[in-house]
Structure 1
Amino acid sequence: MSDPATVPKELESIADFIRWAASRFAAAGVHFGHGTDNAIDEAAALVLHALHLPPDLHDAYFPCRLTADEKAAIAARVRRRVEERLPLAYITHEGWFLGLPFYVDERVLVPRSPVAELIETGFEPWLDPEAVERVADIGTGSGCIAIGCALAFPGAEVDALDLSEDALAVARINVDRHGVDDRVRPLRSDLLAGVSGDRRYDLIVANPPYVDAEAMADLPEEYRHEPRTGLAGGEDGLDFVHPLLRQAAERLTEHGILVCEVGHSWPAMEAAYPDLALTWLEFERGGEGVFLVEAAELQRRFAVHD
């Protein structure tokens, strides 16, 4: 492949550079999945960010010609994407979730959970958004789910929990950025073990490490830039889910729910808990392996009594 930073002199416009970058990505066989799923969308995101332009730029601007410095900036980013196989969000330090920008770097996973669709609907019909007072986001990473929940439930307190101090540092950046520091509390915790006293939640959202050992061994190079501790879930992907279920049973309010993402480990989840009433959620924009379970069901299964 030719040098991805060598820009043909014929390229002049925004559209030219989107097409050129997409061709470089396709030729190099880069892997997508950190916000886009194809070369053209990835190229558009890279070019527009490099030009400090909004991601929804009207196509009337696409014929606009670029300066030499702008061309060089795009070429440098294309080189990194191709040669280092960095996810684009680590190059731009920006990931998108719920239509909002979040600061990200290699201390956290790139935001991409289908749980965004549930946040948009306030987790109805399983919850009354007006009645939600406390939320826990387990494995908060960048804080995108915790912040999304704070915006969806303006009367709620949200605990953004993570075992990684590095991840919590990133979450704090985003909590401040989105102006929810009065209601979102980043807290170091191993699942729910670090929550003090008898604090209970109407909603627990969990995105624990759930990639099984076989899938970890086959990860595309882009995913290997993400923190391994945020991905690896043990032999069957459920190492963190087993203790979480017991902890959630003790921490949910009477009508609370646990929503947990286990991705491709969902068959292992069903096999491990055939007697647990799980609702597997469907998403209009794609995604799988997210289950919902009610407090009463968890408490029945794990014999929790007030």
Structure 2
Amino acid sequence: MSTHPFITLRDLLRYAVSRFTEAKLSFGHGTANAYDEAAYLLLHTLHLPLDTLDPFLDARLLPAEIERVLSVVNRRAGERVPAAYITNEAWMHGQRFYVDERVIVPRSFFGELFEEQLQPWVAHPDALEDVLELCTGSGCLPILATQAFPSAHIDAVDISADALAVARINVRDYGLEDRITLFQGDLYAPLPAGKRYPLIVTNPPYVNETSMQALPPEYLHEPRLALAGGGDGMDVVRRILAGARERLTDDGVLVVEIGNERHHVEAAFPDLPLTWLPTSNGDDMVFLVHAADLA
């Protein structure tokens, strides 16, 4: 018999919100506040539909269910483990991806940009044949790219063998082995010699070192390799831009997500014509460069 004074899902939801608020958790991996995070974790742990909370709030829980929920709440609040690593799933634009601590928790503005097929910068998206994605991590962006560009084959690269193991799980789950090819190596190095792309997209490591030192504990569970971009955050971005012209078609475009690092981008590339793309969080998160403007 349970020794805890909890009976219903409502009891546990209230308790989880209190624990998360008291622990001053950071919410940046899929939810924005303690209530949403608690509701997600409880519903997932109890194998209930993630979009259906109200009908179950006053349901009485079994002692074993209460113990499972408390274990999850304690891990999230006590160890500051991101929820996605506890549930082994992350959601982007309504789609589920497998994740674990071998990859960062997916979060990207490319999902919303792909919904618009990157128009008008990609002139004929339905006829696009090849896309390159660098620093793929969990493989979520090439999967979303196959939906945005129905005729395209996606080459996706990551230096981490562990990350690519996760990406393979997601590619297999979506049945896209024939449309996505995964390469292990350093940026352009593992790609077929001479292959060029009309579109290169990347969400590379870009967090500057000062920001790395100030990250909340949740982010320290993520692979540093996938986050840290050097002193100004631009170490990997510089190398991507340096090699892009050789890999882009003459009319191709490179699109790079850089989070809150616009000032560092503009300081690092003062003479490069950059087009900043509009996103739901403003027009300073993603930039585009035309092949013709790259040396």
TM range (shorter): over 0.9
The separation in 1 between residues aligned to 2:190 and 2:247, in whole angstroms, is: 12
Partner of 2:180: 184
Q: Post-superposition shift, 1:58? A: 5.6
SS at 2:60's partner residue? Answer: coil
| Counterparts in 2 of 1:287 and 1:63: CA distance versus 1, 3 Å | farther
Matches of residues 257-268 of structure 1 in structure 2 within 5 Å?
257-268=253-264
Kindly indicate whether residue 180 of structure 2 is the aligned counterpart of residue 174 of structure 1.
no
The separation in 2 between residues aligned to 1:292 and 1:168, in whole angstroms, is: 26
Match of 1:56 among 51, 59, 63: 51
Matches of residues 188-203 of structure 1 in structure 2 within 5 Å?
188-203=184-199
Match of 1:224 among 220, 224, 237: 220
Q: Post-superposition shift, 1:8? A: 5.0
Q: Post-superposition shift, 1:288? A: 4.5
Partner of 2:102: 107
Q: Post-superposition shift, 1:95? A: 0.8
Contact 1:162–1:188 under 8 Å retained in 2: yes
SS at 1:197's partner residue? Answer: coil
Match of 1:239 among 235, 238, 252: 235
The separation in 2 between residues aligned to 1:262 and 1:52, in whole angstroms, is: 36
Contact 2:251–2:292 under 8 Å retained in 1: yes
Could you report, residue by residue, the CA deviation over 1:263-293 in whole angstroms, capped at 9, with x for unpaired residues? Answer: 2221011012122111112222568421111
Q: Which deviates further from its counterpart, 61-70 or 116-125?
A: 61-70
Matches of residues 1-306 of structure 1 in structure 2 within 5 Å?
8-9=4-5, 11-57=6-52, 59-127=54-122, 128-284=124-280, 288-298=284-294, 302=295
SS at 1:263's partner residue? Answer: coil
SS at 2:44's partner residue? Answer: helix
The separation in 2 between residues aligned to 1:287 and 1:65, in whole angstroms, is: 47
Q: Post-superposition shift, 1:261? A: 1.2
Contact 2:276–2:283 under 8 Å retained in 1: no
Could you report, residue by residue, the CA deviation over 1:20-57 in whole angstroms, capped at 9, with x for unpaired residues? Answer: 21111001111110111111111111011101123212
Could you report, residue by residue, the CA deviation over 1:185-234 in whole angstroms, capped at 9, with x for unpaired residues? Answer: 11112111221211111221111111111111111111001001001100
Amino acid at match of 1:112: R
Q: Post-superposition shift, 1:15? A: 3.3
* Structure 2 unmatched ranges of 5 or more: none
Amino acid at match of 2:248: L
SS at 1:198's partner residue? Answer: coil
Count of matched residue positions in the alignment of Structure 1 and Structure 2: 293
TM-score of the two chains, using structure 1 as the length reference: 0.91
The separation in 2 between residues aligned to 1:48 and 1:19, in whole angstroms, is: 14
Taking only the aligned residue pairs, the percentage that are identical comes to 51
| Counterparts in 2 of 1:8 and 1:282: CA distance versus 1, 3 Å | farther
TM-score of the two chains, using structure 2 as the length reference: 0.94
Could you report, residue by residue, the CA deviation over 1:77-102 in whole angstroms, capped at 9, with x for unpaired residues? Answer: 00100111100111111111121111
The separation in 2 between residues aligned to 1:116 and 1:224, in whole angstroms, is: 25
Contact 1:7–1:75 under 8 Å retained in 2: no
SS at 1:42's partner residue? Answer: helix
SS at 1:109's partner residue? Answer: coil
